[in-house]
Structure 1
């Protein structure tokens, strides 16, 4: 997503005109009439979040001061149009609760949006931070709305679903759906409709292998990556249900949040540099999802910390993710490390290891705010 773009002190200042800066906006849309580009990456992210919240196109109509608004705020404001300005203001006001915007004002059909002072960006609330981390990690594996992802038996896991790709093979899908049923069985039944009875029979099968075999028969397309349309629609109805989205988030807290706390606790014992920046936490969360823990790299991390004496949380996190990545299967080491560094640096990072190279990118890098997270450890415990 960020390839070819140029930044100075977190301000986007150049790149190819048709380059995507976020999933729905190209650089040309942030270019001023004189050809100059200067817009803070947090504002770019805020406009994309607004577009996500509205679920419709947002037009960038000006980046110039006007009517007493924007003066002395170069690169920190934008004028947009997206239909009913009252609806735009309402959506932007909700985003302002976590510090995305500081000043929102409608002027006729247009809405003025201004971000907070970059030198004093507010911290993220822990729940919001973890939700963002889940979306970033999911974007490495899937595209589109991560809660609507349904994948067939291309990898032997039978059926994979949602932002953390729970599946029959690991037993995580079964556990997730037990939680959904306990949360709201009537809503779950409505999602499946006439398929409900068969779904219940599948969930009651005595072994994971039989559940995988059932899903394999429903898998479609090249490499069995797709799923029978009726079942895909039912599962996407589940993913579209707010209560089940919330339960998915809770499941992620319970499983991967605990792993993240364990990793942070161990690192603190080895090198007492507090890790609280969202970029660092998101990189470590991604590691916990893909590799489980830091355990296999404990000795390598200790040695490197002793040799390099990191002075900040970014250096410490980099050591942790690089050394744990080097303990992966040789075929995936470069991929693991590149993926984590992409999160940490908010741009693709090329990595070579064990004779292989990788340069992972992620369309959701705009979610990675360069701010601390409030009471993350307390929230996850």
Structure 2
């Protein structure tokens, strides 16, 4: 999709702010278009298309000042509803454990989507950068950012704001790096052997994914089960990297090898995706997909896994959504996994709402 541009639009990440989108492509089908250079913002749906928008104006710096967004006005805290209730979620965990016992899968990431009404005001879509500023103040995250291309132009629309703690793919100097997260608890003392085993399982999947696009023998784990502190919780993170074949980024091949991210899918990936399709009643959208940027001039990129992510759509007058989930293994306790989804959502949904965190 190309054209003279959209009715405004912006993308922002750490040290980068871009404006004036001029072109949009399906990254998995049209990756060759990156050969022309430019700065591209990326948003990929978990179960759909990965799009990239090229921006005409880009400002870079160690601390690029954000724009001046309007004050954020989110939905009321009691206005959020979940695609899966507690009993249904716990039943789905039990179903996955049966599939594991039958040998069909080893792990499945089971998610639910929260949504609340948030209408456009006077025809203007909600201010995505205003929400981003709220999250940056209340929940700073290493891979935070956003992309907003509104309706009204010739390019595909998108509205995504992320406070992601998880690196999906970084490309720099011919090296591809991924940092899968598995293991979440309120404090380090709450992490279990199940968390550590699950992290190692998913990290091994990422190793296999990266081996498909890396020089033989170059894929290695550079940090195993590292503990990361985030607002209200801790994560276990393993870092995997490899040297790209021929030292260059073939994005079609990279995404074919690695997408959707292993940490939010399951093992084996194809079988886990089948279980997800069966048990989750609504599409995840950009949640568990990818959000980030590609600098085709410098051969660099940073894509986050689209977790801790809000997205807005104009349907039904305007809906703001947020996804939350947990990795299910044979060692999972259904009530405990539901509690993990609550833990991951509570703080961020509270920040995006009027009136504080939901009672759960």
Fold shared per TM-score above 0.5: no
Q: Mark the structure with the bigger radius of gyration.
A: 1
Between 1 and 2, higher relative CO (CA 8 Å, sep ≥ 6) is seen in 2
TM-score calculated relative to the size of structure 2: 0.30
TM-score calculated relative to the size of structure 1: 0.28
Question: Structure 1 or 2: larger strand share?
Answer: 2
Question: Structure 1 or 2: larger helix share?
Answer: 1
